[in-house]
Chain A
């Protein structure tokens, strides 16, 4: 379970590391259900290139694709991104409290 989570998180992070893929996610946020060619157009990507990016996003669980006739429409899936945010929040909590204690420790009796 832990192992599964670790690799899922890695996939999310590396999927998000590409500017084209981030662009796709941001567009899908505003316009859910865009087709593959609509997504490819403003990025000046050819369809095969676009398909590769979508595969990466899909493997990371960041999008889902549904087929209606000959059109594939793409939707966001927020679960994995939520996990990435959780990662940040957990560490923020951990360090905030630890550093409070560190400050208290070094400041106590340190007036000079």
Chain B
């Protein structure tokens, strides 16, 4: 868990039990009600929730663009953990990995979402060395050095 390749981690404390949150992230009818980065509609959701099963969501943004992330479920522990690969045609990476962690919390659920880039072999070898140091400095660095051309 420490020193992965660049990743996005988001934690939410939700006033609903893990069973309800689990349903929302695994049942297509419920997935369609929230999956998407703006108020545009989610057009379809497919979730064969077992290791090796397929995941696919199609949503349309308000600007009319349609996107279709797809993946394969890697790990399924009901009401606790859901891991699947993530491929997004048109996004600049080959494949990444999404993890949902659910923990009971104060009568509700603590939800942790991790989206990470899958490291290649080379990267795996040295990943303990950690990205965080470099990434911490990166925003400062980018702000201070304008890209030529």
Quick one: which of B35, B91, B142, B145 contacts A90, CB cutoff 8 A?
A: B91
Contact with B along A21-46 (1 / 0, CB 8 A): 01001100100000000000000000
27 residue pairs bridging A and B, Cβ less than 8 Å apart: A2-B90, A5-B92, A6-B93, A9-B92, A10-B120, A13-B117, A18-B122, A22-B133, A29-B145, A78-B141, A79-B147, A85-B139, A87-B117, A91-B8, A97-B38, A98-B34, A98-B36, A99-B34, A102-B12, A103-B14, A105-B24, A105-B34, A106-B16, A106-B21, A106-B24, A107-B16, A110-B16
Quick one: which of A16, A83, A102, A106 contacts B92, CB cutoff 8 A?
A: A83
Residues of A in contact, count (CB < 8 Å): 46
Quick one: which of A17, A77, A95 contacts B127, CB cutoff 8 A?
A: A17
Interface residues of B (CB under 8 A from A): 5-8, 10, 12, 14-16, 20-21, 24-25, 30, 33-38, 89-94, 111, 113, 115, 117, 119-120, 122-123, 125-127, 129, 131, 133-134, 137-139, 141-142, 145-148
Do the beta carbons of B92 and A2 come within 8 Å of each other? yes
Do the beta carbons of B6 and A13 come within 8 Å of each other? yes
Do the beta carbons of B141 and A93 come within 8 Å of each other? no
Interface residues of A (CB under 8 A from B): 2, 5-6, 8-10, 13-14, 16-19, 22, 25-26, 29, 76-79, 81-85, 87-88, 90-99, 101-107, 110-111
In the complex, how many residue pairs between chain A and chain B have their CB atoms under 8 Å apart?
124
Do the beta carbons of A25 and B6 come within 8 Å of each other? no
- Specify which chain A residues have a CB less than 8 angstroms from the CB of B8 in the assembled complex: 88, 91-92, 95
